[in-house]
């Protein structure tokens, strides 16, 4: 018999955390700004929580607003690289969109899966 007890549940938070480690903090603060405009406050809260968790884990201050401070910190991280982070900075909207797509429809998919399981076990 197959056991799924060792598999952590797939949550919006776990998806965002994996994306955070891949794309870094700046696309996330960019997304907070977009989500605030769309009044997606639960998603904003979740992203802020992830940023604070990572700040604590890595003992570094990571901003939660897309402003001069966050952009300066971003470029500081790239100061020893060949292009000084310019290419990555230009791609921030693209990275933010990839993150947005990774959680798009998450609630709908989760609800469909729940309905399927409920109907399967009612047999």
The answer to whether residue 26 sits within a structural domain is yes
For 12-46, b/e burial (b = at least 16 CB within 10 A) is: eeeebbebbeebbbbbbbbbbebbeeeebeebbeb
Q: What single-letter DSSP state applies at residue 87? A: H
Structural domain containing residue 84: 12-104
pLDDT value of position 24? 92
The answer to whether residue 5 sits within a structural domain is no
Structural domain tally of the chain?
A: 1
The answer to whether residue 72 sits within a structural domain is yes
The answer to whether residue 87 sits within a structural domain is yes
Q: Is residue 4's pLDDT more than 60?
A: no
The answer to whether residue 82 sits within a structural domain is yes
The answer to whether residue 46 sits within a structural domain is yes
Q: Tell me the average pLDDT of the chain.
A: 86
pLDDT value of position 43? 92
């Amino acid at each position: 018999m197959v056991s799924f007890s060792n598999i952590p549940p797939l949550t919006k938070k776990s998806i965002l955390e994996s994306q955070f480690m891949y794309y870094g903090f700046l696309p996330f603060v960019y997304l907070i700004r977009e989500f605030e405009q769309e009044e997606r406050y639960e998603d904003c809260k979740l992203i802020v929580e992830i940023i604070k968790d990572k700040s604590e884990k890595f003992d570094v201050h990571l901003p939660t607003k897309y402003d001069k401070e966050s952009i300066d910190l971003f470029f500081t991280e790239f100061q020893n690289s060949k292009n000084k982070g310019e290419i990555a900075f230009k791609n921030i909207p693209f990275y933010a969109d990839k993150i947005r797509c990774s959680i798009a429809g998450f609630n709908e998919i989760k609800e469909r899966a729940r309905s399927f399981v409920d109907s399967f076990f009612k047999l």
